[in-house]
């Protein structure tokens, strides 16, 4: 059980096709978060190259590899736990990759890796239209064309806290978060590139629901703004407490950092006053 308060940060950025510029921005924002006192920092989904997913898959790298090595070194230099968002991880299947999140401890050692289980295949309304609009062609997204689904549930311990890992579209599948809860998770880390079309209606609701159901913190780092290929991410990175209260949020799609304290007392209070997790019946 969590027995210390810890300061965490979620980084929000809008990635384009230039991985060198994206990496410089991500590193700068992680350094800024650490300078503001964050002991754990979370980057967004596929921040290294976001846009057409086929391009991200074609730039996939091995893990460990050059990109993960650089962020392991960053975590060690800053003395923080770093959830380095997610990357396209090389797979044996030609033309496809895993969408993988990786976590380093304060010594720069890999302590967790998670391959996204649920792939986003959907037809969305064009940017600027509503979900009920008619007469316009939908924006078709097929993550499964370029990415492979993972199979495992990932929990890990750091800073005296048990964390679960999920990525973006996983947020819509409460059974995954229940598996985290059953494994003792007190906080969930969620790198994301949640779309504007769905985020404006569902992002905050789903974040709060997963926190309430599992009486845990949710730390959600989202992409924000427009990307190549006509994509737009919702932003509004947030940290939700075990009661479902939004304790910190970026109220826009702009680049930025959101920080909050994960309180051991808050987790204990919520779970004691409303012991729903103990009342579950399988």
109 as an active site residue: the answer is no
Q: Is 29 left (phi over 0), alpha (psi -120 to 50) or beta?
A: alpha
Q: Which of 89, 168, 216, 249 is catalytic?
A: 168
168 as an active site residue: the answer is yes
By CB atoms closer than 10 A (0-12, 13-18, 19+), residue 8 is: buried
Between CA 210 and CA 203 the distance in angstroms is 11
Cα angle 239, 150, 246; round to 5: 10
Q: Which of 83, 89, 96, 116 is catalytic?
A: 116
Residues whose CB falls within 8 Å of the CB of residue 278, separated by 6 or more in sequence, listed in order: none
Between CA 11 and CA 7 the distance in angstroms is 13
Between CA 12 and CA 32 the distance in angstroms is 12
Q: Which of 45, 89, 186, 249 is catalytic?
A: 45
45 as an active site residue: the answer is yes
**Catalytic positions, please?**
45, 116, 168
């Amino acid at each position: 059980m969590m027995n210390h308060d810890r300061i965490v940060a979620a980084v929000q950025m809008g990635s384009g096709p230039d991985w060198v510029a994206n990496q410089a921005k991500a590193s700068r924002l992680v350094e800024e978060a650490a300078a503001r006192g964050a002991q754990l920092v979370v980057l967004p989904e596929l921040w290294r190259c976001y846009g057409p997913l086929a391009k991200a898959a074609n730039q996939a790298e091995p893990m460990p590899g050059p990109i993960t090595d650089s962020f392991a070194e960053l975590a060690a230099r800053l003395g923080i736990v770093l959830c380095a968002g997610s990357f396209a991880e090389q797979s044996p299947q030609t033309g496809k990759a895993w969408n993988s999140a990786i976590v380093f401890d304060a010594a720069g050692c890999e302590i967790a890796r998670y391959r996204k289980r649920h792939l986003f295949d959907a037809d969305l309304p064009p940017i600027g239209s509503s979900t009920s609009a008619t007469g316009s062609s939908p924006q078709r997204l097929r993550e499964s064309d370029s990415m492979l689904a993972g199979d495992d549930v990932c929990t890990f311990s750091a800073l005296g806290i048990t964390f679960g890992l999920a990525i973006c579209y996983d947020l819509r599948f409460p059974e995954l978060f229940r598996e985290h809860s059953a494994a003792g998770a007190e906080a969930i880390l969620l790198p994301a590139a949640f779309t504007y079309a769905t985020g404006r209606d569902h992002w905050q609701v789903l974040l709060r629901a997963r926190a309430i159901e599992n009486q845990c913190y949710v730390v959600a780092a989202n992409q924000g703004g427009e990307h190549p290929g006509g994509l737009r991410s919702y932003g509004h990175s947030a940290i939700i407490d075990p009661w479902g209260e939004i304790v910190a949020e970026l109220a826009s799609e702009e680049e930025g950092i959101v920080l909050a304290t994960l309180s051991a007392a808050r987790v204990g209070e919520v779970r004691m006053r409303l012991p729903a997790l103990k009342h579950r019946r399988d």
